[in-house]
Structure 1
Amino acid sequence: MAEIMIIDDDTHINDMLCEVLQSEGYTVSKAYSGTEALLLLSGRKPDLILLDLMLPGLSGEELLRNINGIPVIVVSAKTATSDKVGLLLGGAADYITKPFDIDELLARITVQFRKSRSLSEGVIRCGELQLDTDSHTVKYGQKDIKLTRTEYAILKLLMQNEGHVVAKLTILDKISDDTPDCTEDSLKIHVHNLRRKLKAVSDTDYISAVWGIGFMLKC
């Protein structure tokens, strides 16, 4: 069963989440400070992390920058939109504010594991849209969509972060190995062409621009 690490200095919340998650069949590990969590993560890799921000020692924001390859759901009392946007752009997979409904949190955890399973199977799905990472093909239903190398790389990244804004500089950084020719000036053109191709076969505008920040794909 999947392992979830809870990082929260509030012992009541930490213990409550541990009990609920174990009752759902998850394996649970716990940390009560950012420093303790960093030490634990040096020797193990949980499948998902629930991260509070206001931690003793290393803060949640600082810890997030040291976590790679593990989906992180931020669970915090900070409610400002700027905090949420900054953390989502900084690598968090999701954000839920305290106090939270436990059923909603469990649903968000399920969504993250569903995404992870899709990635491990080599196929990323978004409604009828599917991208095969093994064959590098994209389909809408049974219709093939012909994309350039750059368009494919952009779509793959946006589908991996479905429902979240991906900053322009993040896109350029993540796809740089595959598409070194893509620049900040040409990115808008590539996205425009990608949106046009997707809409032509699906009659759906999957990708939206978030002014001054980046782009988001929504099913």
Structure 2
Amino acid sequence: MRLAVVEDVRGGTLEALFDTDPAAARKALADLARTLGRMHAHHAPRYGRADLLERGGVALGSSCEQLVLDRALGDLGEAAGRDGRIGAARGRLDDRLRSLRALVAPRTEHGLVHGELGPDHVLVTSEGEAVLIDIEGLMYFDVEWEHVFLRLRFHERYGALARPGLDPRRLALYELAMRLSLVAGPLRLLDGDFPDRELMEGIAEHNLEEALALLP
């Protein structure tokens, strides 16, 4: 038997509300922070998609940090083959990723995270409550991964979502990895006939600059 839970949320996205009603957006942002706090405090001893773990499955890889490193090295290789600036810095970026990974201590529990939560993935009810959408990727993972993504997507508004106690070493590794992903992904799309090329070029350029700025 399959069950669908449907709710008619008519307040639009949080992203749109930032422009149309800043006061309501602040209220929804505070509600989102409370929701994320509850989610991130819900732990599991293993990482992986929530539906996979519920079925007794096991995610690939040996740890969150190793999985992120392996993917980042792949993204680095792809980006280096498409942009000369990344190619010239490949050795330094590789060393930086590996050195950051070496500093991360093992962890035995992981929080429930959305995975790619931006203000466009949050709807707002008429009462000002935040409702998460596109939750098919819900997973147990390091909450630092979520917070790096939140910081990238919410920019100056991230302060309302910040929380104490995050591991700064994981944050450093995950930020560099995410920046490289946001270089490699857009450049990969530009190999084909992606229609909005200017958008992808801008994303790749911005994150390329940010990745290089993270080098010591």
TM-score class normalised by the smaller sequence? under 0.3
Structure with bigger strand share is: 1
Higher relative contact order (CA 8 A, sep 6+): 2
**TM-score normalised according to structure 1 size:** 0.27
Structure with bigger helix share is: 2
